[in-house]
Amino acid sequence: MKKSRHYSKPLARIGPFVLLIAPVIFATGCTSIAKGISKHLAAKQPSEVTKVLPIPDVDIDEISRCLEHNGPWCDDAKTRVPGAYTVEEWIAADVPDDLVAKNAEETMAVNSVREVLKHRVSRGMQALLNGVEIPDLTQPGKDGPSITISDEDVDGFLALIEKNVRSGAFELTSDRLRSIARNQAATGITESERVTATPFGAKTEFLKSYYSAYFRRGEFLKVEANDANARARLTDWMRERLPGLSDSELEKMVDEIIPADGFIFGSIGDTGFVSRTGHECAFPGIQVSIDPFDIRATEVPQIDFAQVGADLVRVFFEATFDAQYGLPGVTKATGVVDGLLDNNDPDQCRVSAAEFQKTAEYAARVEAIAAASTGRIIRGAGPLALNNEAFAQILETVVGVSARKATEKVTWCIFATLSGDAADQALARALSGEGRKATLVFSAQVPRLLGSHPGAP
């Protein structure tokens, strides 16, 4: 299967039918998620709970310097020219001064990308897991930064992600950044390296690449005839109306419309988004069966849009943290395939294959624990039980993936700077949960208890 370039628009290769039906399916599903969350905001009372997230960190100078470093990580690094940006600047991801849109469409795209990167959930989770305080965003907590995020914040964040994906804003903004980079090309620096040299550019490029991969590079829809006798029916229909055609000419025409295998057009890609540690997720393949003689009889399979919503959030945080940290990945990782991350070559990247696997295992374990404990708060029998599975799924993903990415960075730095018992001791300290802690206060409107009133606590 021929691969499309990684910066192609996800829906551009499938044809008019897909461009018509796919955004409708996708937008309808994401709208249903938003409505499913929003309907819980009426006739309810405020409540909040606190979730404490350990900040994986080690008070060792070498590791601290590594944690402040954003690459390159390999001796033969081919992917990045990191700018001298602070953690706070990475979180802010301000639009570069030289990014001037050419038209209204580009202006809307750049503003849309800026809006999602500046959103409270996006910046807040990056601030918490980087262990920094941001004025007007976080508050000082007992052992580290604290932030309050509401159910409306999460709802709005998902809506912004959906807006950017549906409108192609990441692609349009990336195309403009690349156009500017071509006009400012410097000797020895590639176009991609110049685009990803600023926090805004790097995050945009990773988001474009990762979402394109999640939607299978546009190959997520396959249309085929639902009738085994469709070819014979079409042949008879054409013979009746075109009596002058020979059998061979008729067969050629039928082959153009309905090939022998029943396939009409489209394809479903084998691979979706693959994280730097090898975790894969993809938009569900849609196999549509139609009656060529009655297009109204189209059959479209059901899609779990709650899972799609959680996937969109997962891909967002994978992209924004990878853009900041730039850690090498497995060979099949989307970032490596698209030339945004280096392949983890043990001879060049200072972390062995076995150590790399350990970083993935530790990070997966931290994500599972963080997500599960968050899920218990949302689904539990306590005062914040929202009875909203889609919402719980999304919030689990926000917390779990953010915790995973921070753990990937600190475990990588431990293995890159220490070895033997020293590395094992540092790992134990980093993952013990006894150091600095970030505090996530989650506020929500929950169903009023029987007999409660507007003034009830």
For 75-131, write each residue's pLDDT tens digit: 877 766 556 788 899 999 999 888 888 899 999 999 999 999 999 999 999 998 888
**Residues listed for the chain:** 457
Q: Is the per-residue pLDDT at 40 higher than 80?
A: no
Q: In this structure, are residues 445 and 41 in contact, taking their beta carbons and an 8 Å threshold?
A: yes
Q: Do the domain assignments include residue 3?
A: no
Q: Is residue 230 part of a domain?
A: no
In this structure, is residue 204 part of a structural domain? yes
Residue 178 has pLDDT above 50, yes or no: yes
186 has pLDDT over 70: no
Tell me if 129 is assigned to some domain. yes
Structure-block tokens of residue 439: 């505090």
Name the pTM for this structure: 0.79
Count structural domains, the chain: 1
pLDDT higher than threshold 70 for residue 383 = no
> What letter does residue 217 receive in the DSSP assignment?
G
CA distance 93 to 110: 12
Note whether residue 173 is domain-resident.
yes
Whole-number Å distance between alpha carbons of 403 and 421? 25
From the CA atom positions of the chain, what is the Rg in Å?
25
pLDDT the model gives residue 454: 40
> Residue 266 pLDDT more than 60?
no
Answer yes or no: is 36 within a domain. Answer: yes
What domain range includes position 356? 16-219+269-447
Please provide the average confidence, as pLDDT, over all residues in the chain.
78
Alpha helices in 304-352 (DSSP H): 305-325, 334-337, 346-349
Whether 376 is in a domain gets the answer yes
Which helix H or strand E contains 344, and what residues bound it?
none
